Homo-oligomer: A and B are copies of this chain.
């Protein structure tokens, strides 16, 4: 059997093409280093870190692993210049950008020899990312947790379309949590996967234990993409979510929704564990997660499940 060189493994220098999403309030040095040590690519989630906190997490990740790791940067981050300076000063070699236009920062980072990947929700944005010089794209579908695209294209529809449009490696995100969903994504044209929700509910995730527990207790239909008038975001149902639904029922406009959302709701829910008042960002796959496990176990289970499913295809199990 001939095994092709996997371009995502080659790009990052990793063993398995499994990227842990750089999620706000979940992805600190413990999670990133655990994933990298297990053969995947760990990402720090700079979106919920002050610049000095990021600097500290970079140092701690480096102390905890000698494997490659990266940082996820939302391009709408208020002190983006300071953040990028730290990333370059600290010699971070991999940056994933999201939530913004990659045209400005991609060339600057690549000039420093940094590998740059941008997260997109459409083929059009994928083409823009490639035009900006990105080394790969993460194509993230509607089912993903947290902030999401306006076109609502699902992972199943998005991956083949992006694959057909760009030549760089496509990393699939949204709905991927085990070896089966990983193989499906690879069949669709991805060369790697980015996994969020499954890693949010690991022992090493920096999220509050109460949030993790709520995630693994979620049932099908418990998340919904909402607040589309502001920035579309997939949330878990809770008291705050119900208040949002009530606001819609009373035909609230953009300003009222913005006032209801207020500030720091995500921190309150995901980091402080206020399950009533907080904003609980998670993907549809939460309903398929049933326990909080070590990050290394996620990787091992994914790789084993992927190989088992490949063997099923190889045995003609799906043939007719």
- Judge whether A95 is part of the interface by a CB distance below 8 angstroms: no
Q: Is A255 an interface residue (CB 8 A)?
A: no
Which among B142, B160, B174, B316 is the interface contact of A3 at CB below 8 angstroms? B316
Interface residue total, chain A, C-beta cutoff 8 A: 59
- Which residues of A come within 8 Å of B, CB atoms? 1-4, 6, 9, 15-17, 122-124, 141-143, 150-157, 160-161, 174-176, 178, 180-181, 183-189, 220-221, 224-225, 251, 253, 284-285, 287-288, 307, 309-310, 313-320
A17, A150, A316 pick with most chain B CB within 10 angstroms: A316
Query: Which residue on B lies nearest to A123, using beta carbons?
Result: B220
A284 touches B154 (CB 8 A): yes
A52 to B137, CA, bound (A): 54
| A68 → B minimal CB distance (Å) | 15
Contact B154 A143 (CB under 8 A): yes
- Complex Cα distance, B6 from A3, in Å, reads 28
- Distance in angstroms between the alpha carbons of A156 and B4 in the assembled complex: 25
Q: How far is the CA of A49 from the CA of B161 in the complex (A)?
A: 35
Known pairs A3-B319, A142-B143, A160-B181; list 18 more (Cβ under 8 Å).
Answer: A1-B316, A3-B316, A4-B316, A122-B220, A151-B220, A152-B221, A153-B221, A154-B175, A154-B284, A155-B156, A156-B174, A156-B184, A157-B175, A157-B285, A181-B188, A184-B187, A187-B318, A314-B314
